[in-house]
Structures are given as C-alpha cells and as structure tokens.
C-alpha cells in the first residue's frame, strides 16, 4: 500500500482530531477508515464503499456485493 511520506503522523493526527468518530465507531474502525481514505487519496473512496455490503470475510480478504 502506498502512503504519503509523513512517517505516520497524518494518520495519528486524523485519529486524534477525529475524537467523535472514535467515540462512535471505535478505534479499530476509525483507524481502518483513515487508512482507506489515505490510501485512496480522499474520503470519496469511503463514500463509494457505502453502496456495498460485506458478503464474506476471511483473513486478508473481503468479498463485497453491490446493494
């Protein structure tokens, strides 16, 4: 996965600044959402994923199905 060369500071700052998200979603979900947004270059990827349901989960793999 490609990430900006910020030595991880941007992800940590996003979690600290996203206190409301952490309190609602939890730390692991918020961390995952921030990682997806950083890797995709913006929050638009998270909005696109809203139209999918998780069909099947296994270690290292998720199968999504469009709603």
Q: For residue range 33-63, list pLDDT tens digits in order.
A: 888 888 888 888 888 888 999 999 999 898 9
Using CA atoms, how far residue 63 sits from 11, 52, 55, 58, 66, in Å, is 26, 10, 5, 9, 10
Considering the entire predicted model, what is its pTM? 0.53
Domain residue extents for the chain: 9-66
| Residue 54 contacts residue 67 (beta carbons within 8 Å) | no
**pLDDT category, 7, cuts 50, 70, 90?**
very low
């Amino acid at each position: 996965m490609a990430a900006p060369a910020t030595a991880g500071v941007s992800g940590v700052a996003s979690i600290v600044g996203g206190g409301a998200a952490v309190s609602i979603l939890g730390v692991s979900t918020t961390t995952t959402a921030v990682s997806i947004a950083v890797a995709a270059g913006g929050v638009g990827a998270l909005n696109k994923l809203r139209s999918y349901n998780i069909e099947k989960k296994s270690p290292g793999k998720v199968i999504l199905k469009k709603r």
